[in-house]
């Protein structure tokens, strides 16, 4: 058999021990806070039927879904006239009926519809699982990555929005990151579009261009609208609005201003009412991070119908690290009408990158207080194995070096794997019912009676 030089598919990653521990540090904080807020965990299969996935993410999305080859010899079933076309698109239903999940939102909608009789609404669920996209691999973009989603399904209450803002604030406080939460409402954007004489068809292109403000700047955004045929008057109105919004961060002033320009738009005023409720009641909560209303926040996804959020780091420019919004009819895709939902998704990969670059991962993640017992051969196991067991029972991470090799090699291993203590049990120690404990960080070495090992180490750790 020829030897294969091993590799992994491009866009995928192996995670070594330190990386897994750091990733789990983030995920554990998310889980803990999700659970404090009574979000309940669900897990869905990696594979979904293609009928569930296709048509939900646009044409581009459909292309990026990983499709799984059907088992058996599907060519047997392929009609001759299709085989002759040699046209892959006409073959797809014979080739594949399953795909890897592309996000956690469509599986959630599918889950809620399938399990609606077991669920007590409002349903607060969290889900932390990988998703797969056949995207072009590039720096910071992967073909397999985790999503960490929370959603509240089955209530129109704006308390849900308030909870999401509060919860995200708790997450980033705990992660020791300074952030700004931007908030807007798709209904306000609709009202503004009406005020600017944008018709219904022009609404989506309007939001898409507006959303680029951060990237291309005000002048280019305005030029785009000019090219699209806007009147000078409307361009000036938009320019003034954006300028006002970017310099007036106090919500009460913004509210008065918006009330004026949205006066003729029923939907716009409804959106303004929603944001007002959220802002008014968030006043009763001390947020650690910034919260601003941002009229230019639009969010790409068309299924949002109300409040939209996006959270950015104040310390690093890396795009949004959390985002989401309210959608009024997601489960309608699968035949269940009238369930409003709101959710946000935390970008664990970007949060990881920020914590790494800002050096904010706590030391304890990769440098626990581990103990290595040296190995002097079988005759010593009678003494060392019970000690090893006692250490485990007391909750210490402990190990015995597996081979009887030179002490130097064993100490090197202890150093490389960042053991804090090395316990030496040689003839002298056994004769005196003692062990020697060396602190690898301080270099200090002491002899301790066998019965006092645990209490000695516990004292050191205090």
Contacts of 30 (CB under 8 A, 6+ apart): 126, 128, 148, 171, 346, 348
Q: Quick one: 232 or 378, whose CB is closer to its own copies? A: 378
The answer to whether residue 204 forms part of the interface with its own copies (CB under 8 A) is no
Q: Assess 363 for contact with its own copies (CB under 8 A).
A: no
The answer to whether 70 and 96 have CB atoms below 8 angstroms apart is yes
* DSSP letters spanning 236-264: HHHHHHHHHHHH---HHHHHHHHHHHTTT
Stretch that binds its own copies, among 122-130, 226-234, 259-267, 352-360 (CB under 8 A): 122-130
* 395 lies in the binding site for its own copies (CB under 8 A): yes
Using an 8 Å Cβ cutoff, are 91 and 77 in contact?
no
Minimum CB–partner distance for residue 51 and its own copies (Å): 5
Alpha-helical (H) ranges within 212-367 are 213-227, 232-247, 251-261, 266-282, 348-357
Instruction: Give the distance from CA 445 to its chain's centroid.
Output: 45
Q: Which stretch binds its own copies (CB under 8 A): 224-232, 240-248, 395-403, 426-434?
A: 395-403
CB of 328 to its own copies, least distance (A): 15
| Least distance to its own copies, CB of residue 358, Å | 24
In whole angstroms, how close is the CB of 113 to its own copies at the nearest point?
A: 5
| 3 lines the binding site for its own copies (CB under 8 A) | yes
Q: Taking CB under 8 A as the rule, does residue 319 contact its own copies?
A: no
Measured from the CB atom, the residue of 241 and 391 that comes closer to its own copies is: 391
Q: Which is nearer to its own copies, 143 or 350 (CB)?
A: 143
How far is the C-alpha of 374 from the C-alpha of 239, rounded, in Å? Answer: 72
- Among candidates 334, 336, 308, which has minimal Cα distance to 322? 308
Stretch that binds its own copies, among 42-50, 254-262, 290-298, 304-312 (CB under 8 A): 42-50
338 binds its own copies (CB under 8 A): no
Instruction: Tell me the C-alpha distance between 84 and 238, whole Å.
Output: 56
Shortest spacing between CB 138 and its own copies, in angstroms? 15
Least separation in angstroms between CB 232 and its own copies: 41
Q: Name the segment binding its own copies (CB under 8 A); options: 97-105, 176-184, 346-354, 440-448.
A: 97-105
* Spatial contact of 65 and 102, defined as CB atoms under 8 Å apart: yes
Q: Give the count of residues interacting with its own copies (CB under 8 A).
A: 106
Give min distance, CB of 340 to its own copies, in A: 11
Question: Which one of the spans 153-161, 177-185, 214-222, 443-451 is the region binding its own copies (CB under 8 A)?
Answer: 153-161
Residue with smaller CB distance to its own copies, 167 or 192: 167
Residue 107 CA to residue 103 CA, distance in Å, equals 7
Packing angle of the helix pair 381-393, 453-461 (nearest 10 deg): 40
| In the complex, minimum distance from the CB of residue 413 to its own copies, in angstroms, rounded to a whole number | 6
For residue 68, give the 3-state DSSP assignment.
Answer: strand
**Could you tell me if 100 and 46 are in contact, meaning their C-beta atoms sit under 8 angstroms apart?**
yes
Using CB under 8 A, pick the residue from 16, 229, 338, 443 that binds its own copies. 16
Q: Which CB sits closer to its own copies, 37 or 212? A: 37
* Nearest residue (CB) to its own copies, 114 versus 208: 114
Residue span 368-387 as binding mask against its own copies, x where in contact by CB under 8 A, dash where not: --x----x--x--xx--xx-
Nearer to its own copies, 126 or 206 (CB): 126
Packing angle between helix 266-282 and helix 251-261, nearest 10 degrees? 170
Distance, in Å, from the CA atom of 53 to the CA atom of 47, rounded to the nearest integer, reads: 10
Q: Which two tokens stand for residue 248?
A: 């007036």
Sheet arrangement for strand 144-153:
40-41, 123-132, 144-153, 341-346, 320-327, 307-313, 179-185, 290-293
Residues between 50 and 89 that touch its own copies (CB under 8 A) = 51-52, 55, 63, 66-69, 71, 73-75, 78, 83, 86-88
Least spacing, CB of residue 172 vs its own copies, in Å? 15
Task: Cis check for the bond before 309: say yes or no (omega within 30 of 0).
Answer: no
Nearest distance, CB of residue 447 and its own copies, angstroms: 22
Select 201 or 403, whichever has its Cβ closest to its own copies. Answer: 403
Q: Which of residues 234-293 bind its own copies (CB under 8 A)?
A: 277, 281, 284-285
* Sign of the dihedral defined by the CA atoms of residues 69, 74, 78, 82, in that order: positive
- In Å, how far are 70, 346, 368 from 209, measured between CA atoms? 41, 24, 49
């Amino acid at each position: 058999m020829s030897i294969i030089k091993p590799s992994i598919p491009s866009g995928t990653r192996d995670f070594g021990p330190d990386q897994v521990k750091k990733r789990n540090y983030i995920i554990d904080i998310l889980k803990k806070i999700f659970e404090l807020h009574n979000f309940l965990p669900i897990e869905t299969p990696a594979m979904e039927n293609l009928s569930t996935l296709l048509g939900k993410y646009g044409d581009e999305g459909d292309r990026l879904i990983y499709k799984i080859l059907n088992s058996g010899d599907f060519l047997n079933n392929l009609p001759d006239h299709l085989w002759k076309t040699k046209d892959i698109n006409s073959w797809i239903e014979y080739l594949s009926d399953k795909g890897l999940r592309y996000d956690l939102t469509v599986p959630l909608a599918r889950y809620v519809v399938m399990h609606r009789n077991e669920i007590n609404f409002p349903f607060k669920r969290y889900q932390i699982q990988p998703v797969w996209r056949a995207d072009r691999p590039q720096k910071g973009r992967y073909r397999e990555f985790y999503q960490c989603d929370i959603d509240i399904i089955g209530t129109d209450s704006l308390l849900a929005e308030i909870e999401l803002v509060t919860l995200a604030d708790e997450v980033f406080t705990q992660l020791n990151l300074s952030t700004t939460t931007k908030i807007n409402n798709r209904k306000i954007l609709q009202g503004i579009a009406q005020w600017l004489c944008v018709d219904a068809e022009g609404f989506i292109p309007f939001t898409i261009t507006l959303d680029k403000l951060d990237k291309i700047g005000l002048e280019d955004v305005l030029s785009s609208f000019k090219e699209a045929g806007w009147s000078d008057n409307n361009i000036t109105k938009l320019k003034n609005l954006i300028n006002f919004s970017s310099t007036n961060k106090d919500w009460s002033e913004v509210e008065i201003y918006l009330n004026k320009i949205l006066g003729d738009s029923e939907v716009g005023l409804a959106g303004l009412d929603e944001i007002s409720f959220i802002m008014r009641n968030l006043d009763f909560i001390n947020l650690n991070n910034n919260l601003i209303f941002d009229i230019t926040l639009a969010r790409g996804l068309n299924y949002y119908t109300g409040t939209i959020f996006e959270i950015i780091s104040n310390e690093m420019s890396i795009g949004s690290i959390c985002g989401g919004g309210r959608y009024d009819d997601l489960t309608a895709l699968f035949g269940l009408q009238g369930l409003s939902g709101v959710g946000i998704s935390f970008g664990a990969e970007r949060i990881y990158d920020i914590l790494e670059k800002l050096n904010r991962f706590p030391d304890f993640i990769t440098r626990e207080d581990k103990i290595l017992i040296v190995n002097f051969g079988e005759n010593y196991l009678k003494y060392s194995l019970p000690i090893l067991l006692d250490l485990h029972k007391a909750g210490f991470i402990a190990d015995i070096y597996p081979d009887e090799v030179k002490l130097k090699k064993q100490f090197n291993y202890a150093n490389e794997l960042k053991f804090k203590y090395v316990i030496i049990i040689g003839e002298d120690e056994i004769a005196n019912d003692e062990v020697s404990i060396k602190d690898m960080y301080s270099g200090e070495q002491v002899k301790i009676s066998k019965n006092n090992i645990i209490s000695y180490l516990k004292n050191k750790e205090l």
